[in-house]
Structure 1
Amino acid sequence: MVEILPRHLAGAGSTDLRTAWPFPFDEDWSLHQPEDRPTIAASPCLRLRASHLIHSTRPGAYGRWITTAHRDPFGPPTWQITFGPDTPLEFLHDVHTELLDLYLEDPRAGQEWLFENNAAPHEAYAPLLVRGWSHRVEISGSQFFTSPSALAGVQHLYATTDSTVPTWTTWGGDASAPTWRGEFSYGTPTALVASFIASLISTDPVRRTVKDIPAQTRRHVYEAPLATASHQAPPLSPVAPAQCRVAPTTDRAVPAVRRGR
């Protein structure tokens, strides 16, 4: 077991459902794990649902993580988040932790933070600029943010209101053949995108076995044995120095944006 940076190149790690979904299943949230169908978690009101497609006949769907919010629990999704099977588990955990926070805060605030997206998009993507990510804007209505190593990216459709296309798309690895991909549909609260981006650029290492690291990104990661890391000894060392880029320079993750009050 080693500690890895950058996080977006570390691979999925485990697929532990209770880590990906930090919901209070011992209270009132439900968890359904049928043998031949997707695993589904749901809030008591059924307006939030998370699924892991471990069984699927749809091409490319195996292993996907899909989270939906329903203003009407018996109606179609109001917004949806989708992550590919190789998305780092830490990203899933942080997004769903923020989602649970929004859900629990709604009754106290007297507002529907899950459906009233009153935070500006720049509150989600500004930390990328602080970390030195490049920024490109197209007149077609898209803006792109690319990591210094060019091995992670975020696309934002800033001019769309089309609920059939993702407003935010993110990926890790080479853009032409990413190791994982995530999508946030129109209407997804900015706080959830911000939570994801904070996890994406965090300089807290993630733990993996060497075999967990995708072969195509292995030369670009920094790793250190757990014993070395825990004793504040040398910094993470590159696996292949000639191919590596320096990890983000700040020493802590940028916190996720909070809802406007």
Structure 2
Amino acid sequence: MPDTEEIDGDVYVSPRHLAGSTYTGDPALKPLLALGFDLRHDGLGNVYVTAADHRVRLGYLPEGDDDGLWRINAYRDRFGPPAWGVSFNDSAPTEFVTAFTTALAQAYTAGPDTYLAEPDLKDPVLGAFDAVVPLIKNGWQFQQPRWGVIALQPPDGMATCEYTTNRLDPEKELTTLEARWHLWGGPKSGYARWYATATTNTPITLVKAITQSVSDPTPVPRWRDSMFPRLREAAHLTSVTPPPPLVPTPLDVQNAATRRLPALGTRIVPRWSTASRPVLPGPRR
């Protein structure tokens, strides 16, 4: 457990799909910046991170045209349309974005065959199953929302992961919520609701990084007062500050003293060190 002073929050929140954003993008940018990605920003406060070969681009857009705070695209042709795109809105827990960018940094290091790997074209549904395994392991259950959609929800029903099996418009996948993968959570309406999308050709390993983080049972730290009230009401909060130590009872003190006494018949020999004073001889009998 980290030191209390190093934890950015005063409560732990679980499940994490009810934690809300941390309102800082630094943790999610760090994995790509560590690889030497170029970082630029405009006068509005938007941040743009680009790989040296321009095959991967990330936008952190607090002043964008919509609530899509994070937009990450990868390109086969640096002058062509994106091969795939992933987005997170401004209410998405930052841990989800960080999990994705960490996996993306690893995939980019491995090369184009990894970060541009296309799903199994023969059986895309079977290939996509690997990304929902973390959800199933953490208690999410299959739902039947509508034809052409595979959905899973956690026991509290306050998050959803949808995988669409129908044919989709590539342009709409990049610009709307009509994407191959659509995850969301939080109250049914309001600013506290978060979402994430991933288009058809997003490598399954990268989608899996998101689903693993979303369903991870490990609580995340937050500042209680910065959380939306509806999230505080729905989530389980635990104080970061550990409980005060228990005051020892008289019996505890007695037992501790007993353990420190030497065994009956044991001879106590004084320890000698360079700092010890010489033992003076006692009087003769």
Given the two structures, how large is their TM-score scaled by the length of structure 1?
0.78
Aligned to 2:23: 14
Matched, 1:128 2:135: yes
**Structure 1 pair 198/12, CA: closer, same or farther in 2 (3 Å)?**
same
The aligned counterpart of 2:118 is 116
Task: Give the AA of the match of 2:148.
Answer: G
Q: Greater CA deviation, 44-53 or 21-30?
A: 21-30
1:171 aligns to what? 184
**C-alpha separation between the residues in 2 aligned to 1:213 and 1:78?**
36
Match of 2:201 among 187, 205, 209: 187
Between stretches 28-37 and 187-196, larger displacement belongs to: 28-37
Structure 1 residues 102 and 117, CA gap change in structure 2 (3 angstroms):
farther
* TM-aligned CA distance change 1:24 to 1:81, over 3 Å: closer
* Unaligned runs of at least 5 residues, structure 1: 232-261
Q: d(CA) in 2 for partners of 1:23 and 1:121?
A: 25
Taking the aligned partners of 1:121 and 1:15, their CA distance within structure 2 comes to: 31
Count residues in correspondence: 223
Shift in alpha-carbon separation, 1:139–1:25, aligned structure 2, 3 A: closer
Asked if 1:75 is matched to 2:86, the reply is no
Query: What is the alpha-carbon distance in structure 1 between the residues aligned to residue 146 and residue 154 of structure 2?
Result: 21
* Cα deviation, residue 186, structure 1: 1.2
SS at match of 1:145: strand
8 A contact 2:180–2:198 mirrored in 1: yes
1:115 is aligned with what amino acid? A
The residue aligned with 2:12 is 3
After superposition, what is the alpha-carbon deviation per residue over 1:83-130, rounded to whole angstroms, capped at 9, x for unaligned? 1101101111000100111110117xxx34423335811101122223
* 1:44 corresponds to: 52
- 1-side partners of 2:79 and 2:197: how far apart? 23
Q: Which has the larger radius of gyration?
A: 2
Instruction: Note the aligned Cα RMSD (angstroms).
Output: 2.3
Report the counterpart of residue 248 of structure 2 in structure 1.
none
1:122-173 alpha-carbon deviations (Å, 9 max, x no partner):
1011222232222124673111111111100111012435423300000111
Once the 2 structures are TM-superposed, how far is the Cα of residue 54 of structure 1 from its aligned partner? 1.8
Q: Residue type matched to 2:53 in 1? A: C
Instruction: Report whether the alignment pairs 1:65 with 2:73.
Output: no
Assess if the C-alpha contact under 8 Å between 1:9 and 1:214 holds in 2: no
Q: Hey, which of these two has a bigger chunk of strand by percent?
A: 1
After TM superposition, the structure 1 stretch with the greater mean CA deviation from structure 2, 83-92 or 137-146, is 137-146
Please, which moves more after superposition, 199-208 or 27-36? 27-36
Q: TM-score, normalised by structure 2?
A: 0.72
Q: Is the 8 A contact 2:119 2:128 kept in 1?
A: no
Q: Distance in 2 between matches of 1:71 and 1:197?
A: 25
> Aligned ranges for residues 94-173 of structure 1 at < 5 Å?
94-106=99-111, 111-118=113-120, 120-137=127-144, 140-160=147-167, 162-163=169-170, 164-165=172-173, 166-173=179-186
1:53 lines up with 2:61 in the alignment: yes
Tell me, yes or no, if structure 1 residue 205 matches structure 2 residue 219: yes
- Structure 1 window deviating more from structure 2 (214-223 vs 146-155): it is 214-223
Distance 1:27 1:150, change over 3 A: closer
C-alpha distance in 1, partners of 2:35/2:184? 34
Instruction: Quickly say closer, same or farther: Cα 1:162–1:115, change in 2 above 3 A.
Output: farther
For structure 2, the 5+ residue unaligned runs are 1-9, 121-125, 174-178, 246-285
Aligned-partner residue type, residue 147 of structure 1: P
More helix by share: 2
Report the Cα distance in structure 1 between the residues aligned to 2:101 and 2:167, rounded to whole angstroms: 25
The 10-residue stretch of structure 1 (220-229 or 94-103) with the greater mean CA deviation from structure 2: 220-229
Q: Given that residues 35 and 105 in structure 2 are in contact (C-alpha distance below 8 angstroms), is that contact kept between their aligned partners in structure 1?
A: no
CA distance 1:169–1:113, shift in 2 (3 Å): same
Contact 2:50/2:57 (8 A) holds in 1: yes
Q: For the structure 1 residues 150 and 96, does the alpha-carbon distance in structure 2 shift closer, same or farther, using more than 3 Å as the test?
A: same
Change (3 A) 1:30 1:211: same
2:282 aligned partner:
none
Give the Cα separation in 2 of the matches to 1:174 and 1:191: 28
